[in-house]
């Protein structure tokens, strides 16, 4: 058995924690996979900043329409009742508090819920997109991300050192190693991935983390 969750399994696990009937925005990259995993018996209404409400799962390559894409320019399908609207109206939905959940990627998350996910600073080209609007206007922010960077550095840190996207916004983090709640007392593991021990999670986390 492969230790830990694959990206698809991380996305599926995240979807399990979203209530039926929720309006959801998905960030670019790994969070987009969540659209492919709607738990049986639930309906999710997916929103995209480019002016789309009611996205379905990713289409097979033979049925992709280059004009039907999400904000990350990835091909999508439409569920019955889907609608299109102006980019400004899309952001009015976000800023007006009409989106229930947003799932984002992360470069760093701090135990108080601070999020850095748009630039590492330095020579990097800024590309904040709609992230700052999303963390300010959406009711609950989830993060789907690898637990560490490619070089093994922790993404869950004592304090974010990269430019912040939002202060105290993250509620829950889904990594390849665990599901982690952001509480008043910091990071708390609520579920470990198959084959992963709490000691491994603690060793790969850059700050204190607890478990029941």
Q: Tell me whether residue 1 is in a domain.
A: no
- CA dist 199 and 73 (Å) reads 39
Q: Tell me whether residue 13 is in a domain.
A: yes
Q: Tell me whether residue 191 is in a domain.
A: yes
- CA dist 71 and 86 (Å) reads 13
Q: Tell me whether residue 147 is in a domain.
A: yes
Q: Is 184 tagged catalytic? A: no
Q: Tell me whether residue 161 is in a domain.
A: yes
Would you give per-residue pLDDT tens digits along the chain (212 residues)? 458 999 999 999 999 999 999 999 999 889 999 999 999 999 999 999 999 999 988 899 999 999 999 988 899 999 999 999 999 999 999 999 999 999 999 999 999 999 999 887 776 666 677 899 999 999 999 999 999 999 999 999 999 999 999 999 999 999 999 999 999 999 999 999 999 999 999 999 999 999 98
Looking at the structure of the chain, the number of domains it has is 1
Q: Tell me whether residue 60 is in a domain.
A: yes
Q: What is the CATH number of the domain that holds 54?
A: 3.40.1080.10
Q: Tell me whether residue 91 is in a domain.
A: yes
Q: Tell me whether residue 2 is in a domain.
A: no
Catalytically annotated residue among 49, 158, 200, 208: 49
Domain that holds residue 182: 7-211
């Amino acid at each position: 058995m492969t230790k830990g969750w694959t990206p698809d399994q991380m996305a599926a696990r995240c979807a399990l924690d979203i209530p039926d009937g929720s309006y959801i925005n998905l960030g670019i990259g790994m969070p987009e996979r969540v659209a492919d995993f709607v738990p049986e018996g639930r309906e999710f209404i997916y929103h995209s900043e480019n002016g789309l409400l009611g996205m379905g799962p990713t289409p097979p390559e033979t049925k992709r329409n280059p004009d039907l894409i999400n904000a990350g320019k990835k091909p999508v399908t439409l569920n019955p009742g889907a609608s299109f609207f102006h980019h400004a109206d899309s952001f009015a939905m976000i800023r007006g508090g009409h989106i229930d959940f947003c799932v984002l990627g992360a470069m760093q998350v701090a135990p108080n819920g601070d999020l850095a996910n748009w630039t590492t600073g330095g020579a990097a080209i800024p590309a904040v997109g709609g992230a700052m609007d999303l963390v300010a206007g959406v009711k609950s922010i989830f993060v789907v991300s690898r637990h560490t960077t490619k070089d093994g550095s922790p993404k869950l840190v004592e304090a974010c050192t990269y430019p912040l996207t939002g202060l105290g916004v993250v509620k829950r983090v889904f990594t390849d190693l665990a599901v982690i709640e952001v509480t008043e007392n910091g990071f708390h593991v609520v579920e470990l991935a198959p084959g992963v021990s709490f000691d491994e999670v603690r060793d790969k986390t850059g700050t204190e983390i607890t478990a029941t």
